[in-house]
Structure 1
Amino acid sequence: MSIATVTQNARIDVRTGTALVIAAVAALLAWEIFARAIAPAWIGGPLQPTGLAKSLFANVIGLPIGQTAAQAVHIATGVIAYPAAYFLVTRFKSLGWIADGAILGIVTWFFAIGIVAPASGLPFLLGMGAMMWAALVGHVVYGLVVAGGFTVARKRLS
């Protein structure tokens, strides 16, 4: 694959961008439903990505942020950053939407609780308890919805 081919494949036209945003919003909604409705029955409380964002800003940057700013960070990550990374990586090599989505989920999970959590002062992989597994399931659901939603939305928008 030449540089020109890679550049062409990585371009986002209106249809592709729209499909990616639709998939990302659906995926973030799926994550929120899992985190707030399913995880509490499993682990005794909701998953709190905004708490992680607040801890990160306070411990790494020394800047305390409020709930609204933490929610904005969470939304921007779920609707822009992770889907953009998914799109760019899968332009080079795709293993099919199911594998791509599962890999996206695992990578975002590890980033959140294997890198961001320790940087925020929390234990690596959140101490390897039930919350770690719930976060993994939630992130894999998110990844599958991004990849599957993007595949379906892109076809429907053509």
Structure 2
Amino acid sequence: MQTPAPSSLIIPSTRTMINLVIGGAIGLFVWECWARLFTPLIVGYPLEPAGLLDALAQHLAGLNLPRLFREAVHYGIGLVGYPIIYFAVSRHVPRWPVILDAIVIITFSFSIFRDISAGMFTPAKFMFLTAVIALVFSRLINRDERIANCISWGNFTWFFALGLMAPIAGLSFYLLGEGGELSYMSLVGHVIYGYLAALVFEKLEDRQKPAM
């Protein structure tokens, strides 16, 4: 995935937009299976992206949004929002995987060590940090740059949801204040979603390239 010069603005074609949505749809389908089927079996309750949207609306504007609307926004973000952001970042930001990895490592490490300094240390949280660091630095032994980059994108979607949106909604940073179980399950789900959405899109784009 070569990144062009920042000065060259790349506008996605109709075919590229379709590929982005297809990638987003496949990633979102697997996310839904993980969030609503497997997560309850592990922690006892599902992941609820619509709940985060509700917290945002209530915290910022005091609004109670209908669940159907919140679910529609969630699907819109998964199908179109994240894929378009991925396209913009991957095509216009030099060394974007390194930048996104750095954002995840720095912000999550800060949140963990802040909990430790506040006397909220638990071995599970330290293991959580170890897992995130290992996932980010797995690119050092990953011989497939595309796979490594797609994992980096998945990591970033987790940061965007829980490291950025959650605090804006008045919730704890990375939801660590809730114990960390929900955050860990969200990490797995977002990595799977982002990885598949990006990988499927890139493979579909490869098919559109003229044969050499």
> TM-score scaled to structure 2, two decimals?
0.67
- Quote the Cα distance in structure 2 between the aligned partners of 1:103 and 1:66: 33
Alignment of 1:137 with 2:188, yes or no, is yes
Of stretches 19-28 and 89-98 in structure 1, the one that deviates more from structure 2 is 89-98
Structure 1 window deviating more from structure 2 (59-68 vs 93-102): it is 93-102
What stretches of structure 1 of length at least 5 have no aligned partner?
Answer: none
1:14 is aligned to 2:14: yes
1:89 counterpart = 2:89: yes
Q: One-letter code of the match for 1:74?
A: H
Check the 8 A contact 1:104/1:143 in 2, yes or no.
yes
Among all aligned residue pairs of Structure 1 and Structure 2, give the percentage whose two residues are the same amino acid.
36
In the TM superposition, residue 152 of structure 1 has moved relative to its aligned partner by 2.2
Tell me the distance in 1 between the aligned counterparts of 2:46 and 2:208. Answer: 35
State how far apart, in whole Å, the 2-side matches of 1:157 and 1:40 are. 40
**What does residue 171 of structure 2 align with?**
122
2-side partners of 1:157 and 1:19: how far apart?
Answer: 10
Structure 1 residue 63 displacement after superposition: 1.8
Q: Which residue is 1:67 aligned to?
A: 67
Does the 8 A contact of 1:47 with 1:135 survive in 2?
A: yes
Provide the TM-score with structure 1 as the length reference.
0.88
Residue 131 of structure 1 deviates from its aligned partner by 1.0
Higher helix share: 1
Could you list the runs of 5+ residues in structure 2 that have no partner in the other structure? 98-144
- Measured after TM superposition, the shift of residue 126 of structure 1 is 1.2
Give the superposition deviation at 1:2. Answer: 6.5
- Whole-Å Cα distance in 1 between the matches of residues 150 and 6 of structure 2? 26
CA-to-aligned-CA distance 1:61-88 (integer Å, 9 cap, x gap): 2221010111111112111221111111
Change (3 A) 1:151 1:69: same
**One-letter amino acid of the counterpart of residue 153, structure 1:** L
- Cα drift, residue 11 of structure 1: 1.6
Distance 2:163 2:202 in 1: 29
Partner AA of 2:203 in structure 1: V
